[in-house]
Amino acid sequence: MRTFQSEHGPVALIQQPPAPVFQRVAQQMGGARTVFMAHRSRLADRLMAMLQGFEHLQVLFLKPKTDGEVFAVGRLETSSVVIHDPSVSKFHALLRWSAADSSCYVRDADSMNGTFVNAIALGEQEQQLVDGDGLAFGDAQFLYVRTDTLHAHLAMAAPAHR
């Protein structure tokens, strides 16, 4: 487990890959205007559906090198966390690592469609993320997990070798 965490970092964002057509549209948009998100009231339902298909998810590991390191989240290729979704702003949000409590904090960057934790809009405040939180940037939804939790789930899912 310790090797897994040292290789991949302390936390990860897990996402159901976007449909290829949406990914192509977002990549073609590049610096174009952000589109409105589908519908905010469906965020919680979509997070639950994502968790039921765990084997088809993408994992993005965050590997902070220093306390207070900030990861820019957005559609631009220069972002630390690039999200190819047309509802995500070019510069959408910030994730900040805190070594003191081994956690990330999220803040919306005045995006068009907002940033949500467990389907609740952040507004202007920064919020600490906890293991298992649902995190959405516009329509792009993620599950925030600690790598030790991810490792435990992967170990349980792996077939026993004898």
Q: 104-133 pLDDT, tens per residue?
A: 999 999 999 999 999 899 989 999 999 889
Both tokens assigned to 67: 């306390």
Residue 56 counted as domain residue: yes
- What φ, ψ does residue 20 adopt, rounded to 5°? -50, -35
pLDDT given at position 53: 54
Separation of alpha carbons 32 and 64, rounded Å: 30
pLDDT at 149: 77
Which of 29, 64, 6, 50 is closest to 139 using CA atoms? Answer: 50
Query: Could you tell me if residue 135 is inside a domain?
Result: yes
Domain count, the chain: 1
Residue 75's CB is within 10 A of a number of other CB atoms, namely 26
For residue 77, pLDDT over 70 is answered with: yes
Q: Which amino acid is at 83?
A: I
CATH number of the domain at 48, please.
2.60.200.20
Between 63 and 53, the more confident residue is: 63
Classify residue 162: in a domain, yes or no: no
Q: Does the structure show a pLDDT above 50 at 47?
A: no
pTM, rounded to two decimals: 0.72
Neighbours of 113 (CB within 10 A): 24
Cα 6 from Cα 51, distance rounded (Å): 25
Q: What mean pLDDT comes out for the span 33-55?
A: 51
What is the span of the domain harbouring residue 41?
Answer: 2-157
